[in-house]
Each structure stands twice: as structure tokens, then as C-alpha cells.
Amino acid sequence: MASRESQLTATLLTSILAAVFGSLQIGYHTGNVNAPARIIEEFFNVTWRSRHNQSMPDHSLTFLWSLSVSIKDFGALLGSLGVKCLADSYGRRNSILIVNALSVVGACLMFSSKASESFEVLIVGRLVFGLFCGLVMSLNPLYIQEVSPTNLRGAFATLNQVSFATGILLGMLAGLETVLGTEESWAMMLSLSLIPALLQYLSLPFCPESPRYLLINRGEESQAENALLRLRGRSDKVFTELEEMKEEAARTQTGVTIKEFFMKRSYRQPIIIVLIVNLGSQLSGFNAIINYSTKMFNQSRMDEAKYLTLGVGAVNVTFTLVAFFLMERAGRRKLLLTGFISLAACNLLMTITDSLLFMVPELCSLQVLVVFFLISAYELGPGPISWFIAAELFDQPSRPTAMAFTSMLNWGGKFLLALLFPPLLKVCGAYVYLLFMTVAIVAFTFTWLRLPETKGRTFDDIAAEFRGAEGIPLHNKTGFNTFT
């Protein structure tokens, strides 16, 4: 325990907290459109009526609202494409500062949509903000993992998800009718993400750049040493870590192209792992609950549906904190397995309760509990780990590309679910949750067979295992301690 405490410096904590202001903004704009959905839909309708002297058709309004919710995720998918270029050209810290400008522009557009009487401005604002989402949710874990000591790397990376979940809860709170989710104040509510954006600009410039980027990517050993000294506070820690980085630098090529990333044999296993874990995480039902929980509870004729949605946000934050404390104890693998099998069980229960709800209305309380358990299962492992596992499975030259790939999978999955869940729910009814259950079971099975434990291992150690494991099933490699 003493060795852990010795690595917790004020600079390290400040750097991580300054970075996660970005994910706080993303969470806020994920949670704040849920409760006031009807008010913003009415704004769409009023705007349409003022232009065309008639109400917007119901199917058009449904599509436009689905588009408004999902366009952020589509923007994030596009933004993911810029991760490698920014991270390698400007560094991890500077890239986070650069893309923060997109958040500011997006929030300003969303705020001005009401005054300009244009729902198109709101949609464009969410698209611009989405570009920020796709970039920062890859840049954050990249920066956090590269500045963190090995034995705290996973826990600190989980703070990105804690901040994201906290933002969702704050967004849900701000969206309540009793707070800012009113016809008069909803535009102001959409602008509040400017506060953490400003706080990031006031704090992150004073934090060090990633030492790994400075040494391995830029070859600036003295600057890397200075950055490490600020982060670790002890010269003996700096010397050991610097030597590890030099050894890694000697074994890695200077850069990896997109084509090389997908063609190199030693990257194939980690690419498949990242693909299954991320799609399994995003298509397992969590995003449907987060985006549409208020409507779901309303359809179940539950009183105070908006406050139940607030409960969803509170459970979300609670279990990201649980994951934070368990990450370096239980490890990534056990938390993922527990999360995926629990998600599968929750989706099966959602199917049963939703099917019987009209015959047995008393089941609505059980459905609320199942929703809470589903959120808990997601945040216990799949939620936080899916965002940072790629950074642990790949070496330094390929890490930005791997994180861009992660971001594309995550946001692509969110976009598809946000866009397709309402029509799927109409077509399949309660049985839509069986699709989520199937995805969770596939992800559980693959994780059980293929995912190595990365807890407490250096980046070079993990990369070396993959270099030596070309063509060899990873679960047979004793060095990975896969089943311990």
C-alpha cells in the first residue's frame, strides 16, 4: 500500500482530473435530453408549424427526435477518424485541449437554437459536439493510461467512466421540470457544459504531456524525464520507468499505418478482442435504457417516470465507483465476465417483465429493479473497460490507431442503437431485449476464451506476449494467467 501512495502525486491527480472534464461534458449531453424530450419535441413542432402552418406528422417527429438523439453518436463516429492524426502530431494533452473547442462551439449552437427558432441549429450543434465526443473519449484514456503508474493504470482509466456517468446524472438532474427542463430554460440547460469546458482550459495546460509520447514518439528524453519527475515525484521511480520505456522504444517501429495496423499478425488477436468487447458492451442494452428510460417508464404507466430515470443515473454513478475500486483488485477479465453474464440475465428478465406487464401491472416495480441491475452490470465491467482495454493490448506506435478503432466501435454501436431502438421496439416489442441478451452471451463466451488479464502488467510486457503469441491461442499462454 505504501508503494501505491508514494506514486499518488498532486500533479498526477490534477492531470487526470483535468482530462476527465471532457468526459463529464459528454455524459452531461447524454443525460440531459431524456427527461425534457417532450418539451424539445414540442419546440420542433412549433417551429414546423410556424413555417408550414400545420403540425409535423407523428412519424416525422419520431424520426427527427431519434435523429437528434443519435446525431451526436454519428458525429462521434466521424470524430474517431481524427484520433491518430491529432494524438501523434500534437501529443495527448495538447490534442485534448484542441478538441475542447468543438465542445464549446457545439454547446453555443445548441443554446442558440431556441433564439434562432431553428431545430436544425440544435441538430448541427449536437453533431459538432459529437465530433468532440469521438475524439476525447479516445484521447482521454490514452493520456490517462500513459501518465499513470502500472499498478494504478486501470483504476485511473476508470475515472474517465466515473466522470462520464457523473455527467449523465448531472444532465438528468438539469433536465428535470423542477430544474431547467422547462419550456423557458431548456436552451440554457444545453449550454451548461461550457462550465467544465472552461475549467479544462484553466487546468490542463499546466499538466505535463505524456512521458511515453515524448520519449517514444518524439525522442525527447530530457523532456520525458522532467514530465515523469513531475508525475511521480521520486527520482528512483523515474529512472526505473524511463528504462522500461527505452527498452520498449528499442523494440518498436516509429509509426504504424492504418494498413499495417490491420495486416500485422501480432495485432490480429487484440483487434478481434477489442471488436467483440466493444460491440458486446455497446449493443447489450445499456444505451437503449439511458436514452429512452423516461419513455419506457411512461409506457409502463409508472408515476414519476422522470425521477425513476434519475435513479438510473444514480445507480450508474454508484457502480462506476465500485468498478474504480475493484479494477486493480479483481482485474479486467473477471469484471468483464461478471458484467456480460449479468447483462444477459437482465435482458432476459426485461423480456419477461415487459411481456407480462399489461397482464400483471404490479410487475412494474420488478422492471425498475431489473433496469437498475442492468445498469449496474454494465458499469461494473463492460462500460469502463471497453473504453481503455485497447490502450493496454497494443504497443506505443499502434495505440492511437487502436483507440480510434475503439472509439469508432463504441460510438458506432451507440449511434445504431439510438437510431434503431425506437423502431425495433415497435416491431419486436419486449422481444427486442432478446437481441441484446444474445450479444451479451457472445461477448461473455469470447471474453472467457480469449481475453488475457492485463492487470499489473507493463505495456511492453503485454505487447511482448502478443508478439510471441502469433498464431497461438492466448488462453494457452501461461504467462497471461488467464484463469487466475
pLDDT for 78 equals: 93
Report how far residue 448's alpha carbon sits from residue 439's, in angstroms, rounded to the nearest whole number: 14
pLDDT given at position 482 = 40
The CATH number of 2-207+252-480 is 1.20.1250.20
Q: What is the pLDDT of residues 407-426, one digit of tens each?
A: 999 988 887 887 788 788 88
- Per-residue confidence (pLDDT) for residue 275, from 0 to 100: 95
Phi, psi of 481, deg, nearest 5: 50, 45
Q: CB of 299 within 8 A of CB of 357? A: no
pLDDT score for 17? 96
Full DSSP string of 386-398: HHHHHHHHS-TTT
Q: Name 479's Cβ contacts closer than 8 Å, sequence gap at least 6.
A: 465
pLDDT attached to residue 304: 66
Residues of the chain under the 70 pLDDT cut: 1-7, 35, 253-254, 291-306, 467-484
Contacts of 100 (CB under 8 A, 6+ apart): 22, 132, 136, 197, 200, 201
Q: What is the pLDDT of residue 300?
A: 57
- Report the chain's C-alpha Rg in angstroms: 22
